């Protein structure tokens, strides 16, 4: 980053800062009735209100607004439509047994959102202030936050460059908005282990690229390979990288493997290191922290290291592949039961009669307990509203 950019986009001393205390609210005159929980489809029904915060390079951040949910009006030449000046976050609000609403490690999402913004020269902001604004949005739409365990309110903060004009330039105008939708458990009937196709003809992310940022530009090109895998009966792509066929991520999730050394009996939990090609998942980080804290180190090693599809295939043949799962906010963990590669099928064991492995199930419970406030852990779960 050049020093001029660094000055403009990180110090921002002459701009108005994003400040929750300036929030203005326009209520929706036609509030929705909540859908029954069993009618909730991920990302299909939105709440009554949305956050909008405009920015420009002269004045900085305008007053945050909460307004009725509805269409945006933008110039057709706006930067977002032509050069993909867009980034987003995905987080959830959980209703605990005392009717308090909790966010799970929202500070991590705010840091990541600022890192994504920095990469495409969109403006930085104080994440704690945005969390306060989001908390007010949650309170306004509280009647739409589902009650049952496994249900939650998905929160989608988005930042776009809105400058009109077709020059490929630093956006001088931007819009940060936040929409929310009530969601059910990712798998409506408990876990459903997935079949993956190991994909090496398409590369999701590469060194020097932007795979570690939640930029919209990373996602549109991933749909075609996913459709192709689906035509062959596989739900997701296991993204490989390079000649070594290093395993990076699965679909839009981070990926973990459990190996067991057949001579020493020692187990290893492995996920790819954050080398710039891997999205730094909050769930990934939480799984690493919890397993390092709670698994017996005489029996377990937890490693951020490269593994390849060849290593997984070889370990599988020796009976040393124990479990595999994806991780992300939407599903927490997503068990894997099979990986197709080069015309061969690698079977991943599951617990007898279940759709998941032992550690996969344990980790899912650990995280869910913290998210729903049944257990406190390092202030990871933050109460942002009390609906009693």
Ligand X SMILES: *Cc1c(COP(=O)(O)O)cnc(C)c1O
Q: Is 133 in the site for ligand X (CB under 6 A)?
A: no
Torsion of CA 345, 348, 351, 353, to 10 degrees: -20
- Cα–Cα distance for residue pair 218/213, rounded to 1 Å: 8
User: C-beta of 289: minimal distance to ligand X in Å?
Assistant: 13
Q: Which of 199, 254, 307, 334 binds ligand X (CB under 6 A)?
A: 254
Q: Which of 60, 64, 185, 328 binds ligand X (CB under 6 A)?
A: 328
Cα-to-chain-centroid distance, residue 7: 29
**For residues 214 and 260, which CB has a smaller minimum distance to ligand X in the complex?**
214
User: C-beta of 209: minimal distance to ligand X in Å?
Assistant: 12
Q: Which of 47, 65, 152, 329 binds ligand X (CB under 6 A)?
A: 329
Torsion sign (Cα): 290, 296, 300, 303: positive
User: C-beta of 92: minimal distance to ligand X in Å?
Assistant: 9
Q: Is 260 in the site for ligand X (CB under 6 A)?
A: no
User: C-beta of 7: minimal distance to ligand X in Å?
Assistant: 30
Q: Are 122 and 159 in contact (CB under 8 A)?
A: yes
- Cα–Cα distance for residue pair 49/12, rounded to 1 Å: 29
For 62-129, the three-class secondary structure string (H helix, E strand, C coil) is: CCCEEEECCCCCCCCCCHHHHHCCEEECCEEEEECCCCEEEEECHHHHHHHHHHHHHHCCCCCCCHHH
Residues 205-234 that bind ligand X (CB under 6 A): 214
| Binding range to ligand X, per CB under 6 A, among 121-129, 145-153, 168-176, 245-253 | 245-253
Give the x-and-dash track for 2-41 against ligand X (CB under 6 A).
Answer: ----------------------------------------
Residues 274-293 that bind ligand X (CB under 6 A): 279, 281-284
Q: Measured over all CA atoms, what is the biggest interatomic distance in the chain, rounded to whole angstroms?
A: 67
Q: Is 173 in the site for ligand X (CB under 6 A)?
A: no
User: C-beta of 364: minimal distance to ligand X in Å?
Assistant: 13
Alpha-carbon radius of gyration of the chain: 22
The binding site for ligand X (CB under 6 A) comprises 90, 214, 249, 252-254, 279, 281-284, 327-329
């Amino acid at each position: 980053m050049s020093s001029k950019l660094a000055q403009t986009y990180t110090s921002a001393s002459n701009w108005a800062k994003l400040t929750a205390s300036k929030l203005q609210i326009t209520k929706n005159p036609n509030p929705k009735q909540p859908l029954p929980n069993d009618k909730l489809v991920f990302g299909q029904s939105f709440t009554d209100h949305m956050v909008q915060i405009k920015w420009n390079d002269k004045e900085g951040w305008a007053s945050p607004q909460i307004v009725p949910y509805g269409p945006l009006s933008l110039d057709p030449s706006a930067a977002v439509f032509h050069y993909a000046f867009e980034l987003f976050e995905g987080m959830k609000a959980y209703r605990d047994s005392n009717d308090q609403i909790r966010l799970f490690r929202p500070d991590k999402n705010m840091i990541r959102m600022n890192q994504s913004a920095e990469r495409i020269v969109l403006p930085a902001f104080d994440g704690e202030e945005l969390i306060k604004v989001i908390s007010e949005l949650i309170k306004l739409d509280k009647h739409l936050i589902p009650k049952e365990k496994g249900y939650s309110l998905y929160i989608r903060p988005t930042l776009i460059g809105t400058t009109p004009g077709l020059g490929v330039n630093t956006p001088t105008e931007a819009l940060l908005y936040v929409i929310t939708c009530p969601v059910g458990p990712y798998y409506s009937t408990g876990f459903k282990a997935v079949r993956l196709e190991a994909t090496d003809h398409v590369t999701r992310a590469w060194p020097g690229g932007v795979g570690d940022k939640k930029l919209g530009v990373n996602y549109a090109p991933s749909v075609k390979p996913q459709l192709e895998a689906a035509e062959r009966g596989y739900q997701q792509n296991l993204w490989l990288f390079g000649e070594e066929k290093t395993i990076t991520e699965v679909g839009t999730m981070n990926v973990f493997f459990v190996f067991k050394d057949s001579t020493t009996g020692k187990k290893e939990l492995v996920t790819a290191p954050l080398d710039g090609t891997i999205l730094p998942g909050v769930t990934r980080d939480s799984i690493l922290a919890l397993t390092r804290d709670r698994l017996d180190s005489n029996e377990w090693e937890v490693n951020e290291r490269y593994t390849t599809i060849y290593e997984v295939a070889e370990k599988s043949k020796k009976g040393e592949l124990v479990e595999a799962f994806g991780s992300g906010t939407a599903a927490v963990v997503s068990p894997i039961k099979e990986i197709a590669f080069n015309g061969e099928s690698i079977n991943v064991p599951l617990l007898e009669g279940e759709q998941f492995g032992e550690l996969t199930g344990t980790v899912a419970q650990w995280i869910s307990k913290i998210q729903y406030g049944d257990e406190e852990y390092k202030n990871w779960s933050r109460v942002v509203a009390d609906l009693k």
